[in-house]
Amino acid sequence: MVTEVKKTSVDPNETPAIQTSSLTKTFGNLIAVDGINLEIKRGELFAFLGPNGAGKTTTISMLACLLKPTSGTAMVMGYDINREPYKVKQIIGVSPQETTLSEHLNSMENLALVGHLHNIEPNKIKVWSKLMLETMGLTDRAKDQVRKLSGGMKRRLSIAMALIHDPQVIFLDEPTLGLDPQARRAVWNYISRLKGDKTILMTTHYMEEADYLADRIGIIDNGKIAALGTSPELKTDIIETHTMVVYAWNLTQKVIMELRKRYGIVEINNGTMTISDKRLDFKDIINRLHAVGTVVRSAYIKEPTLEDVFLKITGRELRT
CA–CA dist 312, 240 (Å, integer): 10
DSSP notation for 100-117: ---TTSBHHHHHHHHHHH
Segments of the chain assigned E as strands = 3-4, 18-27, 30-40, 45-49, 71-76, 79-80, 92-95, 169-173, 199-204, 216-221, 224-229, 242-249, 265-269, 272-277, 295-302
**pLDDT digits over 205-224, tens only?**
888 999 999 999 999 989 99
pLDDT computed for residue 111 by the predictor: 94
pLDDT greater than 60 at residue 168:
yes
Contacts of 166 (CB under 8 A, 6+ apart): 128
Q: How many CB atoms lie within 10 A of CB 126?
A: 15
**Which one is predicted more confidently, 151 or 64?**
64
Strand partners, 31: 26
- Segment 83-101 shows an average pLDDT of 91
136-174 per-residue burial string, b: 16 or more CB within 10 A, e: under 16? bbbeebeeeebeebeebbbbbbbbbbbbbbebbbbbbbb
- Segment 39-60 shows an average pLDDT of 93
pTM value is 0.81
pLDDT computed for residue 20 by the predictor: 97
Q: Mind listing the domains of the chain with CATH numbers?
A: 3-237 (3.40.50.300), 241-302 (3.30.70.980)
CA–CA dist 102, 305 (Å, integer): 39
**pLDDT digits over 5-19, tens only?**
555 444 544 789 999
Residue of 147, 166, 169, 155 lying closest to 209 (CA atoms): 155
